[in-house]
């Protein structure tokens, strides 16, 4: 651990894939600005600082901490609280820390099922059904491993967060811009945004940055991208029947996925002012459907499995009528309804 007088910088990964760390390293020469302007006191992927070293630091002594990953186990939670105490500015860095992102999909299963899948499935040779234990006695003493919590939580469900920087991972040019801003603030040349702001993003939607042409405005089926060959390289993916989240997703990535031929899956989160991301997408998807009769509306969405196993649901709100829960229209309405209920619950808490 160094003892120079530069402002202190920390970065930590909780339940994450490591991509956010790589994105910071991928800022090329800007990483030298980090070194020139900050004393990197804690960054497990790059610096061998121990937890006890962080615990020994004065509270509030780290100027800036970028925290990536969600809170999945008691170690994640302990370090989140520790870094909150030690940091003046704590940034939820990347979609996992902001919203749960890919590790958050595990919230769809009970913890026991997750552990069973990881340690005792066809791809795992575990004939004696041996599972990890939280504590284990060895001749040298007692070993501990982190305890999984029931669900993964975003960072701000555990500690107070100063800023949010979405993206899976945040784009390197956005990270460079944020580092540049902080350096300017340190030099008295700029001011920090208000607490709670979403930083390192654009001020519109992915569609607004996307160069693909929008002109068809009507489709008669939704399909997975791999079911369409060839994909038109210049036409809007949504207008080719590929569910693209661009219309409701915050800009800032320069429409990276549609540029590469893949639909946006929304890693930058909802655009400013979008209270219900699902409802906004349902509205956008509905707008390109070419159908007038109920039978056509039933047919067009098709069965489009989502990561959680839910079907793509497009019909505007309303409670599913008796007997229609199994139908696509019923699922559509239930989906729209669920969005509203979630929104209501969020407002009530
Ligand atoms: S936000 Fe994406 S890149 Fe970053 S840790 Fe999570 S999954 Fe990985
Ligand atoms: S829906 Fe997707 S492909 Fe179409 S313009 Fe928006 S971001 Fe681009
Ligand atoms: S296009 Fe969508 S999924 Fe791809 S990087 Fe941008 S916001 Fe994320």
Rounded CA separation 287/95 (Å): 28
Tell which residue, 284, 281, 274, 276, has the closest CA to residue 340.
276
- pTM: predicted TM-score of the whole model, two decimal places: 0.84
338 CB-near residues (< 8 Å, 6+ apart): 278
Between the CA of 218 and the centroid of ligand 1 the distance, in Å, is: 34
Per-residue pLDDT tens over the stretch 19-50: 999 999 889 888 898 889 999 999 999 899 99
Plot region of 55 (φ>0 → left; ψ -120 to 50 → alpha; else → beta): alpha
Q: What is the pLDDT of residue 344?
A: 35
Q: Are 11 and 89 in contact (CB under 8 A)?
A: no
According to DSSP, the β-strands at 71-73 and 148-153 are antiparallel
Q: Is any atom of ligand 1 closer than 6 Å to the C-beta of 170?
A: no
Between the CA of 285 and the centroid of ligand 2 the distance, in Å, is: 11
Q: Count of alpha carbons within 13 Å of 106, Cβ hemisphere only?
A: 25
* Phi and psi, residue 280, nearest 5°: -65, -40
Residue 339 has pLDDT above 50, yes or no: no
Q: Is any atom of ligand 1 closer than 6 Å to the C-beta of 172?
A: no
* Phi and psi, residue 344, nearest 5°: -60, -45
Per-residue pLDDT tens over the stretch 78-115: 999 999 999 999 999 999 999 999 999 999 999 999 99
Rounded CA separation 98/74 (Å): 18
Residues paired with residue 289 on neighbouring β-strands, in sequence order: 219
Average pLDDT over residues 1-20: 87
Q: What is the CATH number of domain 1-201?
A: 3.40.50.700
Residue nearest to atom 4 of ligand 2 (CA): 236
Residue nearest to atom 2 of ligand 3 (CA): 264
Provide the b/e sequence for 192-208 (b: ≥16 CB within 10 Å).
Answer: eeeeeebbbbbeebbbe
For residue 101, the ligand closest to its alpha carbon is 1
For residue 267, the ligand closest to its alpha carbon is 3
Rounded CA separation 212/207 (Å): 9
Per-residue pLDDT tens over the stretch 144-198: 999 999 999 999 999 999 999 999 999 999 999 999 999 899 889 999 999 999 9
Atom of ligand 3 nearest to the CA of 258: 1
Q: What is the dihedral of CA 287, 344, 320, 269, to 10 degrees?
A: 40
Per-residue pLDDT tens over the stretch 224-282: 888 888 899 999 999 999 999 999 999 999 999 999 999 999 999 999 989 899 999 98
Residue nearest to atom 6 of ligand 2 (CA): 207
Any idea where the domains of the chain sit in the sequence?
1-201, 206-348
């Amino acid at each position: 651990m160094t003892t120079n007088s530069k402002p202190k910088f920390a970065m930590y990964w909780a339940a994450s894939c490591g991509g956010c760390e790589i994105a910071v390293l991928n800022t090329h020469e800007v990483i030298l600005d980090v070194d020139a302007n900050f004393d990197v006191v804690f960054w497990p992927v790059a610096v061998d600082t121990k937890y006890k070293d962080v615990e020994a630091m004065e509270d509030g002594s780290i100027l800036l901490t970028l925290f990536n990953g969600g809170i999945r186990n008691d170690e994640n939670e302990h370090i989140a609280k520790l870094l909150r105490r030690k940091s003046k500015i704590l940034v939820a860095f990347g979609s996992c820390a902001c919203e749960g992102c890919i590790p958050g999909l595990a919230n769809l299963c009970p913890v026991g099922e997750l552990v069973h899948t990881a340690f005792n499935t066809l791809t795992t040779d575990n004939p004696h059904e041996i599972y990890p234990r939280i504590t284990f006695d060895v001749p040298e003493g007692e070993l501990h491993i982190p305890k999984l919590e029931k669900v993964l939580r975003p960072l701000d469900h555990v500690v107070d967060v100063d800023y949010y920087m979405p993206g899976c991972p945040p784009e390197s040019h956005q990270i460079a811009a944020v580092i540049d801003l902080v350096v300017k603030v340190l030099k008295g040349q700029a001011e920090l945004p208000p607490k709670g702001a979403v930083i390192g993003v654009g001020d519109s939607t992915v569609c607004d940055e996307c160069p693909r042409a929008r002109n068809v405005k009507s489709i008669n089926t939704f399909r997975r991208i791999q079911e369409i060959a060839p994909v038109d390289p210049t036409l809007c993916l949504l207008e080719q029947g590929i569910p693209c989240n661009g219309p409701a997703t915050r800009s800032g990535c320069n429409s990276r996925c549609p540029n590469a031929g893949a639909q946006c899956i929304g890693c930058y989160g909802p655009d400013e002012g979008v209270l219900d991301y699902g409802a906004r997408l349902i509205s956008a998807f509905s707008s390109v459907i070419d159908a007038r009769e109920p039978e056509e509306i039933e047919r067009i969405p098709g069965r489009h499995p989502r990561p959680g196993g839910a079907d793509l649901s497009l019909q505007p709100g309303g409670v599913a009528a008796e007997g229609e829960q199994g139908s696509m229209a019923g699922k559509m309405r239930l989906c729209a309804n669920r969005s509203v209920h979630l929104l209501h619950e969020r407002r009530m808490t």
